Structure 1
Amino acid sequence: MRILSLAARRLAAALPALFIILAGLFLLLQLAPGDTVDALVAQMGGSDPTMIEQLRKHYALDQSTSVRLGDYLWRLVHLDLGQSAIYGKPVAAVILERLPATLLLMGSSLAIAFAAGMALGVIAARRVNRWPDTLISTLGLVFYATPSFWFGLMGIFVFAIYLGWLPAGGYGSVGAGLTGIAQVLDIAWHLILPTLTLALIFLAIYLRIMRTSMLEVSNLDFIRTARAKGLRDTKVVTRHILRNALLPMVTLIGLQAGTMLGGSVVVESVFALPGLGRLAYESVVQRDLNTLLGVVFVSALLVIVINFIVDMLYARLDPRITAGH
């Protein structure tokens, strides 16, 4: 019951946050120069004032900001994200087409970064101030300090162009007509480079956090007591140190969810992946307000869901977390 109460409180707190994010972004976009009609007219090479006025009425841009904000929020309550000016179809349909690529990229990158960061952090903490610790910490610093787009470009140059081992981009082989397991393997093959590119930066963060957390927990009284009882070192590490050291790592997953979505914009652009990040970039360039707000809405929902799952996992890992705290 305490877990359910905690879940209800987290969900209740998420709704106002989602409203503030969307309303704030909507108002900020009104301050940006240009709008959807300006972008469409520029693509057509110009237009007469009458057509421009009709387009503004069609996209409801002739109304006041407050009226358009109220209309958008009302449509959002009914899960109506509006019509995309770029693609000429509902925003929800466009996002559903792009969502699988982003989810696959984020999920695989997060899994690799978390698992490898945890393993390297444990090794570094177990060999503190020795050459494995120095090597792992140095690599972590290099990965953290290097921009993701540079990793992507170098990965394309080395593994796609020079060695020819991996595809340079895309979400699958164009015109191959693959289905079933062959299509799944083809998509996985194309996602190797973008996944590693996005994972390297977060791997550096996780290994540094895991190393620090392992060293901190190792000096606590209950660990000394466990060692004094004669427990084997491996058992002390796996059953006592590791479980408590994982708490900051689990928390970091929720904090990094939004950052990872932001990083996917760069990675998807470099590797030409048809995901939400690239869609957001195209929406900004084309001034497609409905599509951009739809991407932000889905992205905010993803971050809220991930943080909700993290809160529940944290409550399971740490019994001190209750509904009253």
Structure 2
Amino acid sequence: MITILRPLVIRAITLFGVLLAVLALLVVSLGATGFSDNLLRAQVSEQLRGERTTYAQTIRDPAALEQTLTEREAELERFYGLDDAWYVRLPPQVFRVLTLDLGEARSLRTADGSNRISAIILERLPYTIFLLTTSSVIVAVVGLLVGARMATRVGSRADRALAYVAAITFAVPTWWLGILLIVVVSFQLDWLPAGGMYSVPPPTGRWDRTVDLAYHAILPILTMVPINIGPYVYSVRTMTVSTAQEPHVQLARAKGLPESQITRRHV
């Protein structure tokens, strides 16, 4: 048990160290170039523009209004740490990222109304894992079956077509295909919902919620599978062809074993 856990612990510590290093380098690069300061100041300016209208309804004197906005600007700069140098803000920023203290969103909300970015991420994380896992399983199963089959038909029309399909699907952006499918499948044909994971209002029964979730997941999965399946099939085909030239496979052929058995057991 110790021999199994030890490499896992070492890898976990290594990954955590790499994460810390990447976060530190990211914060340093953003701070040293002034990008983070400019981004925060733009956020302060935008927030002040929104608050100016609110203050103008209660403060009629222009001088008093400007004084209030100046004080509010200084307060926001202290809140975002703009009154300190970027290297002073480095440790707290890294700590906030590690603890998922990423601030508040302006438009997005969770189901219970929270605008905390960490809460929004945690709420959507299970659905993201579900979509990625499902699409990856489909790609793996289809890729292994089709790729192994194409390895036995090297140079055929289907094999040449696979090379073109793999190149095209690899080059197509996921977001572009997603928008295209939403426009065609959801808006034009009205076959699948354009967004969300449940209907509004959501079903109450467990089985109904499961079916509704699967129904809403069809379109995102249809977007991710075509993008990944072409390169995966071609990779499996290439690796299978390479493995088929190994000595143990040649020995199996010399023994007179059927090609299907060689593919299943030796390749």
Normalised TM-score (structure 2): 0.78
TM-aligned CA distance change 1:137 to 1:123, over 3 Å: farther
Matched, 1:100 2:105: no
Give distance in 2, aligned partners of 1:57 and 1:215: 62
Between stretches 165-174 and 82-91, larger displacement belongs to 82-91
The residue aligned with 1:55 is 76
Give distance in 2, aligned partners of 1:232 and 1:206: 26
Give distance in 1, aligned partners of 2:259 and 2:74: 75
The residue aligned with 1:285 is none
TM-aligned CA distance change 1:74 to 1:163, over 3 Å: closer
Between stretches 204-213 and 230-239, larger displacement belongs to 230-239
Matched, 1:144 2:170: yes
Q: Secondary structure at the match of 2:266?
A: helix
Give distance in 1, aligned partners of 2:105 and 2:198: 27
Percent identity, aligned pairs only, is 29
One-letter identity of the residue aligned with 1:34:
L
**Pairwise CA distance, 1:218:** 0.3
Within 5 Å, give how 1:179-218 maps onto structure 2. Answer: 179-218=205-244
TM-aligned CA distance change 1:4 to 1:125, over 3 Å: same
The one of 28, 44, 48 equivalent to 1:41 is 48
The residue aligned with 1:129 is 155
Answer with 1 or 2: which has the greater Rg: 2
One-letter identity of the residue aligned with 2:78:
K
The one of 172, 177, 190 equivalent to 1:164 is 190
Q: 8 Å contact 2:134–2:221 — kept in the other structure?
A: yes
Q: Secondary structure at the match of 2:81?
A: coil
TM-aligned CA distance change 1:121 to 1:80, over 3 Å: closer
**Pairwise CA distance, 1:168:** 2.1
**Pairwise CA distance, 1:3:** 4.6
TM-aligned CA distance change 1:150 to 1:222, over 3 Å: same
TM-aligned CA distance change 1:5 to 1:226, over 3 Å: farther
Q: 8 Å contact 1:124–1:137 — kept in the other structure?
A: no
Q: Residues 115-153 of structure 1, C-alpha deviation per residue, up to 9 Å, x if partnerless?
A: 222222112111111122223333222222222233223
Give distance in 1, aligned partners of 2:201 and 2:75: 40
Q: 8 Å contact 2:27–2:94 — kept in the other structure?
A: no
Matched, 1:68 2:89: yes
Q: Secondary structure at the match of 2:149?
A: helix
Q: Secondary structure at the match of 2:39?
A: coil
**Pairwise CA distance, 1:114:** 2.0
The residue aligned with 1:225 is 251
TM-aligned CA distance change 1:117 to 1:44, over 3 Å: farther
Q: Secondary structure at the match of 1:48?
A: helix
Give distance in 2, aligned partners of 1:196 and 1:165: 13
Q: 8 Å contact 1:123–1:133 — kept in the other structure?
A: no
Q: Residues 66-105 of structure 1, C-alpha deviation per residue, up to 9 Å, x if partnerless?
A: 222112334566x362542636755432321121222122
Give distance in 2, aligned partners of 1:193 and 1:42: 39
TM-aligned CA distance change 1:106 to 1:220, over 3 Å: same
Gaps of 5+ in 1: 242-325
The residue aligned with 1:289 is none
One-letter identity of the residue aligned with 1:81:
D
- Cα-Cα RMSD: 2.6
The residue aligned with 1:244 is none
Give distance in 1, aligned partners of 2:139 and 2:133: 10
One-letter identity of the residue aligned with 1:49:
T
Give distance in 2, aligned partners of 1:2 and 1:232: 41
One-letter identity of the residue aligned with 1:134:
R
Give distance in 2, aligned partners of 1:120 and 1:40: 54
Gaps of 5+ in 2: 54-67
Q: 8 Å contact 1:105–1:191 — kept in the other structure?
A: yes
